[in-house]
Chains A and B, each alone.
Chain A
Amino acid sequence: MNRRGIMSAESAIEGSAVITHEIGLHARPSVKLTKLAKSFASAIHLRGEGLESWVDAKSIVRVMGLKLREGTTVFFRAAGPDASAAVDALVALVKRDFDEHRPA
């Protein structure tokens, strides 16, 4: 199989970040990630460290189904008109810990 996979036809933008959320990519962070991904026109896929397949970052069921844990690196790959902005925004969301650690 071609390692570059589903988006090899176009030049894809890639990025990655480590999940620092203590419970991992569970329900609430998955919803945030999916909603953000859906705000971009580009095709966006993500893959968890150690996993083979890329999943559609706009599919809440697929993203939540990955059950990515704290300390796992998540890779993003986007292709389309706003691919670069999409990857930047998604990487930033993961790095901000999904905005879940605000002072109470």
Chain B
Amino acid sequence: MTGRVGIVIVSHSADVAKGTVDMVRQMVGHEVPVAGCGGNPAGGLGTDVASIMAAIKKVWSSKGVAVLVDLGGAETNSEMAIEMLPESWRGKVAICNAPIVEGAVMAATESAGGGSLEQVRATAEELSPA
């Protein structure tokens, strides 16, 4: 299978999302598709289902997409966004249970090396306390 697993970063803060994307691009490189989204439509802190769906579409790859989230609503809204995707995509989008910044860098490194979605997710989740 060609292509690389895409990475989506979902934070309550647009600045955190952008900063995390910057770190991935600078530390891992540009070969991994990465998109971030953060903030609510009014420009405040929060997450937005439509923006998350747009970010997933932006980095979509046949190998799938790994999603890194920060707090509570980021995860539930990401789950909702995944449910609203075309049915054939849903099984190929995974939310990683990992710290957002570190998890994004680890996930992207694994993706850059050609890892599968499961490998990418497992690498990010290796960081979490057992």
Residues of A within 8 A of B (CB): 27-28, 31, 34-35, 38-39, 58-61
Distance between B31 CB and nearest chain A CB, rounded to angstroms: 9
Is there an interface contact between B105 and A35, defined as CB atoms closer than 8 Å? no
Is there an interface contact between B113 and A35, defined as CB atoms closer than 8 Å? yes
> Chain B binding site: helix, strand, loop or mixed by DSSP?
helix
Distance between B107 CB and nearest chain A CB, rounded to angstroms: 9
Within 8 A of A (CB), among B68-105: 105
A–B pairs, 6, beta carbons within 8 Å: A31-B105, A58-B113, A59-B126, A60-B109, A61-B123, A61-B126
Across-interface contacts of A31 in B (CB, < 8 A): 27-28, 105, 109
Is there an interface contact between A28 and B27, defined as CB atoms closer than 8 Å? yes
Distance between B87 CB and nearest chain A CB, rounded to angstroms: 32
- A60 and B106 contact, Cβ closer than 8 Å, known pairs A34-B113, A35-B112: yes
Is there an interface contact between B113 and A38, defined as CB atoms closer than 8 Å? yes
Number of residues on chain B facing chain A (CB within 8 A):
14
Distance between A56 CB and nearest chain B CB, rounded to angstroms: 11
Across-interface contacts of B126 in A (CB, < 8 A): 59, 61
Within 8 Å by CB of A35, from B26, B109, B123, B127, lies B109
Would you give the 0/1 interface string for B107-119, flagging 1 where the beta carbon is closer than 8 Å to chain A? Answer: 0011011100000
Across-interface contacts of B105 in A (CB, < 8 A): 27, 31, 60
Across-interface contacts of A61 in B (CB, < 8 A): 106, 123, 126-127
**CB closest chain-B residue, reference A36:** B113
Would you give the 0/1 interface string for B22-38, flagging 1 where the beta carbon is closer than 8 Å to chain A? Answer: 00001111000000000
Is there an interface contact between B27 and A60, defined as CB atoms closer than 8 Å? no
Distance in angstroms between the alpha carbons of A27 and B105 in the assembled complex? 9
Distance in angstroms between the alpha carbons of A60 and B107 in the assembled complex? 9
Distance between A29 CB and nearest chain B CB, rounded to angstroms: 10
Across-interface contacts of A35 in B (CB, < 8 A): 28-29, 109, 112-113
**CB closest chain-A residue, reference B113:** A38
Among A35, A60, A61, the most chain B Cβ lie within 10 Å of the Cβ of A60
